[in-house]
Structure 1
C-alpha cells in the first residue's frame, strides 16, 4: 500500500491517524529504523496512537509470587489478585518503558491507562471461566482526540473499566482494534518480529480475509504465523479498514511505500463478526 493511497483515503474523513499495537515482547527490540519511519510519516501529518501488551513483564512478576500463568482460548485467566499484578505491571512498568522509548525519539508520548477517563469502557467476557477479563464495548475517543489535538502521542494500557468501576484485563490486540475502529483510523498496525505474512519465500504485500482463509487451509500460513495473522484479521473483521503486520526490527515505511503485509476487507466480504455484533452492548 502506498502512502499516497493511504493519504487519499484518509483525507476523505480528515483523520490521519494510525493505531500501532506493540506486544510486550517486541518493545525492547524496536529498531531506530522503525522510529525513523514513523518520523517520515509524522512529517506528512500522520499521528499515532500506541496500544501495548505486556505478557513477559506480567509473567516475570507472577513468577516471583509462584503463580503460573493460565490461558483459556488465548486469553489470560485473571483472578482479582492477578488483576492487581496485571494493572501494576502494565501501567507502572510496560507503559513507562514504551513511553520513555517514544520520548527518546521525540514523539511527545503520554501514558494512559484504558481506565483513565473511561477511555476503554468494558464488560466481563465470562467471569466464571476467565475471571477479570473483559472486552471493550465503547471507546471514549474524546480523551484520545484531546491528546492528539495537542500533538501528544497516546500510549494506552489495555486495562478496561466497567460501569461500576471494576478494572478488567483486555487483550491488547482487541483493544487496539477497538481504538482504531472508534477513531476511524486508516490502519491498525501490529508490530511483530516478522516482516509480514510470508507465502513461499516472499512477503505478500496485500491479502484479503478470503485469501488468508485459503492460505491457512492450504497450509501456507502455519505455526507461529497463525496467531499473528488472526490478530490482524480480527481487526479487519471488527470494522478497521486496514490492518498491517510489520516487523519492529527495521523500517516499516520507506521510499513512499509501506513494508509488511496489509490486510483489508474485500468488497462484499461478510462474516459473523460484524461491527454491530461486536460493539452492541449485551450482544
Structure 2
C-alpha cells in the first residue's frame, strides 16, 4: 500500500472537527499509513479561485509540492479540499505559462514546484487500495433498516471529473444503506454565499434540509465540509428560518463506515462533537 498524508486542514476546522476525528479513527482502524499532513495550508474552498486565481493556485501548489517532496500522496477526507488540490494539479500540468509563474512564486518560499503527487478522495482509497471484499468482511452493523439523504451539492459536477459518485454508492451498497430520492441533492448548501448574506445561506440550506426530511430520510450523509457546517452546525438556526423542526443527524462517510464496522464509542468516532445529536446508536 502507498504512503499518504491525511489532509485535515478543512474549512472552518473548529466546525468540522467530527469529520477529522472520524477520519483519523478510520485510517487507524484500517491500518493505513497516513499521518496528519502537518505544515499544509488550509482549504480555502473552490469559491476562492474566482476571487484570486493565482493566489488560489499558489496556495494548493504549495501543498502538492510539500507532499511530493516527502514522497507521500494526499488523502482528502471530503470533497472541497479534494477538488481544490486535484483541480490545481490539472491546471498547472496543462498550462506551461501558469506553471512557470507559480514555480516562481513558490521559489520565494524556498520551494521547487513539484506536481509528482496523487490526490485521492477517501472513497477512492477505500475501494482501490482496501477493496470492496475486505470492507464487506468488516461490516458488523449493516444499515438495512435506515435510509439516508445523500447530499452531493452544487460542486458535484466538478468533483465527478476527478472522482465518480458511483464510488460512494458502492460503499453504501456494502453496508446495505438505502437512499431517498429528493430534488435538492445537487443544489447549493448556502455556504458559498454565507459571507455576503448569512440569511440567504441559511434559507438555501433550510430548503434542502426540509426536502430531505419530507422525503423520509433518517439522516443526512455529506462528503463536503461546507455542507457539514451548514447542515449540522447551523441546523438549529435553519429550523428557526424554516419555522419547522428538522432534527436530522448529519454524518460524514468516515463516521458512517465506522458505525457499520461496529465502532460505538461516540467520543473516538467524533459523534460527541456534533451540534445535532446522533440518534442512530
TM-score strictly above 0.5: no
TM-score by length of 1: 0.32
Larger radius of gyration: 2
Q: Which protein has the bigger helix share?
A: 2
TM-score (norm 2): 0.32
